[in-house]
Structure 1
Amino acid sequence: MNSTATAATAAQSPTAAGQHHAPYAAALQAHAGRGWLRLNVPGHGADTARFDQLTSLIGPDALRLDFPPLLEGLDLGTGSPLAQALDLAADAWGARRTWFLTNGASQGNQIASLVAPSLGRALVVQRSVHSSVIDGLVLSGLRACFVHPSVDADQGIAHGITPEDLAKALAEHPDAAAAYVVTPSYFGAAADVRGLADAAHSAGVPLFVDEAWGSHFGFHPDLPAGALAQGADLVVSSTHKLAGSLTQSAMLHLAEGPFAERLEPLVDRAFRMVQSTSASALLTASLDVARAALVRDRAAIGASVSAADQMRRAIRSLGRFAIVSDTFGRFPDIAAADPLRIAIDTRSGGISGHEARHRLSCDHQIMVEVATDSAIVAVVGAGSVPDTDRFVEALHCLPSAPPDSTPTADRPRLPPPGPALMTAREAFLSPSRAVRAEDAAGMVSADTLAAYPPGIPNVLPGEVITREVIDFLQLTAAAPNGYVRGALDPAVGGLRVVDAGACSSL
């Protein structure tokens, strides 16, 4: 369940001596201190006096560090500080090669989807993947063959898939290009990646893993092993989430495996296609610094795990709320749990997750990551040690609503998707029209509709919109901080559907 394989590899490798150093970040700071007259972009020119409002917002140092790409001494050449930083990152995560992303893990998922058509005609995909994977299917045009995850019916949350389910799906689709799974889940459930990799490789296809929420895995003995260490071939890592880099920065890792020679040039070309030509030096430097911190300070990560454990123990001992991960043992697809995720069943304490999140924010100035109808999820970043007492005390100050008279079976829960009549690309590019939500049931969606967070699509382009999905999305939109990506309006009063003629012509 726990592994130090990644950290051990970094400690023994030829680049181990440099793992505590952040070469790109150091070069960027040195470059900024050279007193430049800047007659290039960005337009602020690091003029802190004339751009005083921007300076007051982000600080003079950040303004001076905001350089464009393709500069000598920073990112030009095979031995540049950026090249060194990329090599160190690949070494730290145990990858053959790593790419720095400045448009989040979403960019990595799009890259993975774009390269898949070179390997086959269909993508076997866990149905609860992030919406960016579906965006990638729209870009690539691949047919998706979905494997449905286990669902906690009481909590209304999806977990993962088993190696057996993946093997069965791959056997049913011999034209598969790759298998695509997400682990860990938003609630911290980690899958049996070794088993999933074995199932994929036995079918002759690579395993792509959206490990957005597991960029810290493998860097401490109390954390689960990372996907690369368990046989995954291409891994998307949202480094900003729990590993400490700046928002919107991420990494893409390619394993040294049977598919590496074929995938590497394709990934490199797809990366250039979707990466900004004005990649942020600040985001790039933050990835370099985050990697060095993960490798250097295991004690800090241990302190983060201890803080999260302390929160769970306190919540259990007070008895009002339940811990969602305490039920993970009931699900065969869950092999481990991320200890830095604290998922709390709020309904057991007499308040919905949406209301709990709203009250914590407005009354106590405490932010949590996500809320559902039944739960909230708090996260502790690797290396962070929050005020655990403040959180536990505020949580237990939340009002307890009168018992809900709505039968559990009648409460809106995570609805199953409707059948797919078209590929995501076909539906997205087909003639479409806007209709009222109440009229959309039975029609084919032209858009991806996903409750945020976590951004798992509830309906895909090409899928039939069901009444249950409409009700769920409208409930989500009506909740405090509720948001549905892809809806035509914030209340989900209208949806975009494929014209009936486009469907009938297939």
Structure 2
Amino acid sequence: MNIRSIEMPVHPLPASAQLSAPYAEALIAHAGRGWLRLNVPGHAAETNSFSSLTEAFGSRALLLDFPPLLEGLDLGAQTPMAEALALAAEAWGARRTWFLTNGASQGNQIASLVAPALGGTLVVQRSVHSSVIDGLVLSGLKAAFVQPSVDAEQGIAHGVTAEDLAATIARHPDAAAAYVVSPSYFGALADVRALADVAHAAGIPLIVDEAWGAHLGFHPRLPENALAQGADLVTSSTHKLAGSLTQSAMLHLGHGPFAQTLEPLVERAFRLVQSTSASALLMGSLDLARMTLVRNREAIGASVEAADRIRRAIRRFGRFTVVSDRFSDFPDIRAVDPLRIPIDTRAGGISGHEARRLLYRDHQIMVEVATDSAVVAVIGAGSVPETARFVEALHTLPAPLAGGADGLRLVLPQPGESRLTAREAFMSPTRVVPAAEAVGLVSADTLSAYPPGIPNVLPGEVVTAETVRFLQLTAAAPNGYVRGAVDPDVSRLRVVDPGVPHAD
């Protein structure tokens, strides 16, 4: 029996229940009962014996660190955990919700594992997170990619249009589902309702990676979430902007026409990839995050106003520009997440990578992501940061073009030809070769400039010289990182060995 997938309460929950956190409250009460703990975890909440843990994280963390399957918490049907899951589903407008303890990446893997029961090809936005590609490796499905719109000036991908999604689905009569991303890393929201209509008209469900949108719909100034627009399965990275602890997330099942088909499939896939030792701390934080989002609407409004102050100041000073001010140029963008602040730093004479490095080193300010051209600052729902401090530090950064004197903007490379499925390439015999020799060969790995973690090379795709240059320049930038690379500098790549037949 899996304790985080038990039946929802039979009777409807009263409205006031959203103002409580049943699992978190039960966990706190359970910790106060003076247990002699002769079970795992091995620290047994002995705060004196494990003083290094206590000094680092506090005694409360140890006391609340319980294993699964405990009476009064999650063992059985009508439990605090079952109530917490039902409240989460209600708050996000889902038919059913699962708590995840390995991030939204786990949700994307579950969604990918569901698809083989529905068809032979997953129609996928090409700029999905690398965890979706990991899911394709696990599932073995073929993929048909829909190209997103690209801001060539910024070198960033946005979303896909309903027309492009429909055209790709039409070319693949064995389509299992459509898989899109909204919002993007830069805060661009797709027209999910139109995308859902297209998918449903073709007889397939719409899966949305809404990792960056867990807070959507919880305040009048925030756009509605994907579930409210007809999405069938939604990955929600609650820890990102909705206030739970890092690595905690949720997976939501919609109320649409595929709900009954998807629910048992999700349940099986969930059991396959969820830890049997899921953290009570992470799950308790999900329960508390949901309660806080519902209760603190005014605080969310203050967060939006804080983000507005930063954008107004950037426009007023004139050195930098706000990337999202140009989103109206792209037909796939329906709305903008106001808690995301993408800033074109090259407009102000400094690369995004260098701006991030100096903000971190000299001002103790962390931003979420840097690209060659921009940084993205994010404000959590309910957080009100020192906006003046950030604006002042940003405008004290050196110029012109510090950290990138050539003044060239990196352009996102076009993907190479796909010759194998992700699973075929991943499971094939491979060899590691110098990057220059990999050009023209088939990649065995997923390579992604990170963050945002959008794959630039997929397993099964031909490696191009353009992509190698892009990844090497990314890796060489301050704080640059390429997820999946053999070497930090991307000097070598793992490719499918052309001399050995690949596994079927």
| TM-score, L = length of structure 1 | 0.96
Alignment match, 1:489? 487
Alignment match, 2:449? 451
Report 1:429-444 matches (<5 A): 429-444=427-442
Residue aligned with 1:19, SS: helix
| Matched residues, number | 492
Report 1:277-356 matches (<5 A): 277-356=276-355
Alignment match, 1:231? 230
CA change 1:370–1:85 in 2 (3 A) is same
Alignment match, 2:497? 499
Q: Contact between 1:15 and 1:88, CA under 8 Å: does it hold in 2?
A: no
Q: Contact between 1:156 and 1:414, CA under 8 Å: does it hold in 2?
A: yes
Alignment match, 1:210? 209
Task: Give per-residue Cα distances to partners, 1:201-229, cap 9 Å, x unaligned.
Answer: 00000000000000000111111110000
Alignment match, 1:7? none
What letter matches 1:163 in structure 2? A
CA change 1:261–1:208 in 2 (3 A) is same
Q: Contact between 1:211 and 1:235, CA under 8 Å: does it hold in 2?
A: yes
How far 1:405 sits from its partner (Å)?
Answer: 6.7
Report 1:163-174 matches (<5 A): 163-174=162-173
Task: Give per-residue Cα distances to partners, 1:63-114, cap 9 Å, x unaligned.
Answer: 1000000000001111110000000000000101000000000000000000
1:91 equivalenced with 2:86 (yes/no): no
* 473-482 or 21-30, larger mean C-alpha shift: 473-482
RMSD: 1.3
For residues 367 and 405 of structure 2, the distance between their equivalents in structure 1, rounded to whole angstroms, comes to 27
Q: Which stretches in structure 1 are left out of the alignment for 5+ residues?
A: 1-12
Residue aligned with 2:98, SS: strand
Task: Give per-residue Cα distances to partners, 1:275-301, cap 9 Å, x unaligned.
Answer: 000000000000000000111111000
Residue aligned with 2:333, SS: coil
For residues 209 and 352 of structure 1, the distance between their equivalents in structure 2, rounded to whole angstroms, comes to 32
What letter matches 1:364 in structure 2? H
What letter matches 1:460 in structure 2? L
Alignment match, 2:8? none
What letter matches 2:306 in structure 1? A
Task: Give per-residue Cα distances to partners, 1:257-281, cap 9 Å, x unaligned.
Answer: 2111111011011101100000000
| TM-score, L = length of structure 2 | 0.96
CA change 1:382–1:504 in 2 (3 A) is closer
Q: Contact between 1:422 and 1:503, CA under 8 Å: does it hold in 2?
A: no
For residues 124 and 90 of structure 2, the distance between their equivalents in structure 1, rounded to whole angstroms, comes to 28
What letter matches 1:389 in structure 2? A
1:126 equivalenced with 2:136 (yes/no): no
Report 1:32-71 matches (<5 A): 32-71=31-70
Task: Give per-residue Cα distances to partners, 1:446-466, cap 9 Å, x unaligned.
Answer: 000011100000000000000
Q: Which stretches in structure 2 are left out of the alignment for 5+ residues?
A: 1-11
Alignment match, 1:185? 184
How far 1:505 sits from its partner (Å)?
Answer: 9.4
What letter matches 2:358 in structure 1? R
For residues 504 and 276 of structure 1, the distance between their equivalents in structure 2, rounded to whole angstroms, comes to 31
How far 1:15 sits from its partner (Å)?
Answer: 3.7
Alignment match, 2:111? 112
For residues 271 and 14 of structure 2, the distance between their equivalents in structure 1, rounded to whole angstroms, comes to 26
What letter matches 2:468 in structure 1? I
For residues 385 and 39 of structure 1, the distance between their equivalents in structure 2, rounded to whole angstroms, comes to 43
1:151 equivalenced with 2:150 (yes/no): yes
Aligned identity (percent) is 74
The one of 468, 471, 474 equivalent to 1:473 is 471
How far 1:402 sits from its partner (Å)?
Answer: 5.2
How far 1:17 sits from its partner (Å)?
Answer: 1.6
Residue aligned with 1:354, SS: helix
Q: Contact between 1:421 and 1:503, CA under 8 Å: does it hold in 2?
A: no
